[in-house]
């Protein structure tokens, strides 16, 4: 049975991905913050491993607990803090966003690659963002870190080839707790930081993205149908923008 590790697997997209992977016959391990795992416990067939993706020692311990090999690794971790213009953004806020996104991506990819190299048809998928290519006012730290993750994805793809494929998915806003403060970091019932009605009106497909809209592209990139793809970004945004 192929083994998939999902960083951020307790979040909205993560729970949908875990359910799909289980139904497709994967053995799944979820890595997430302790508070996220407490709020959304994983299914009994799934191994839960607490981790702080921005902490090198925590990442080393968590990936050491995964075993000898992985066949798939998906990084769904994402962090956005207070929305503000750059001139009103504190250095600590900037550093916090880059640690939560880019540092986490670096540390976990570095830990996952040796395990993936021992796997069967191994693949890694990074979750970036439409804001990496179509940034908006107030999102500078998040957008910059996700744009850097695209460059990281391409470098990983080159360095890991031909043994491991590395690609990314770049969704627009998805209707999850991420829009309301974040899984494990809020009570998840805040008003979304996006005007959902106005946002939907701008989307050619005229609906807001749901977690399963992202799960399909992720599973495609993990599977054999994308076997000749590496270093690529699949944009999932209902036609809102076309990089």
Task: Give the CATH number, domain containing residue 27.
Answer: 3.40.50.720
- Is 158 inside any structural domain? yes
So what's the pLDDT on residue 187? 55
What range defines the domain where residue 179 resides? Answer: 3-236
* CB contact set of 5 (below 8 Å; sequence gap of 6+): 28, 29, 30, 31, 63, 66, 70, 72, 73, 74, 112, 115
Whether 40 is in a domain gets the answer: yes
- Give domain status of residue 185, yes or no: yes
pLDDT attached to residue 110: 98
**Domain-located, residue 118:** yes
Q: How far apart are CA 160 and CA 152, in angstroms?
A: 12
pLDDT in tens, 213-236: 999 999 999 999 999 999 999 999
Residue 163 lies in a domain: yes
pLDDT computed for residue 75 by the predictor = 98
Assigned domain for 119 exists: yes
User: Which portions of the chain are predicted below pLDDT 50?
Assistant: none
pLDDT for 22 equals: 98
- Residues that are catalytic: 142
Residue 242: inside a domain: no
- The C-alpha atoms of residue 32 and residue 55 are separated, in whole angstroms, by 12
Number of domains observed in the structure of the chain: 1
Instruction: Look at residue 180 and tell me if it is in a domain.
Output: yes
């Amino acid at each position: 049975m192929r083994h998939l590790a999902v960083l951020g697997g307790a979040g909205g997209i993560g729970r949908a991905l875990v359910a799909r992977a289980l139904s497709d016959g994967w053995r799944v391990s979820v890595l997430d913050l302790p508070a996220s795992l407490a709020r959304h416990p994983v299914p009994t067939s799934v191994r839960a491993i607490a981790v702080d993706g921005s902490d090198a020692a925590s990442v080393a311990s968590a990936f050491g607990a995964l075993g000898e090999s992985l066949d798939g690794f998906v990084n769904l971790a994402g962090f956005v803090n207070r929305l503000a213009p750059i001139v009103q953004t504190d250095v600590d806020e900037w550093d916090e966003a880059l640690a939560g996104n880019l540092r986490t991506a670096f540390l976990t990819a570095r830990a996952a690659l040796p395990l993936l190299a021992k796997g069967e048809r191994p693949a890694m998928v990074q979750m970036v963002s439409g804001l990496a290519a179509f940034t908006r006012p107030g999102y500078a730290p998040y957008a910059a870190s996700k744009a850097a993750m695209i460059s990281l994805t391409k470098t990983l793809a080159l360095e890991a080839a031909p043994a491991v494929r590395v690609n990314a998915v770049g969704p627009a806003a998805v209707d999850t707790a991420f829009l309301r403060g974040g899984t494990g970091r809020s009570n998840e019932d805040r008003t979304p930081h996006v005007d959902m009605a106005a946002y939907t009106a701008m989307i050619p497909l005229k609906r807001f993205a749901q977690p399963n809209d992202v799960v399909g592209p992720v599973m495609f990139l993990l599977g054999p149908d994308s076997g000749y793809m590496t270093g690529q970004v699949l944009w999932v945004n209902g036609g809102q923008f076309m990089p």
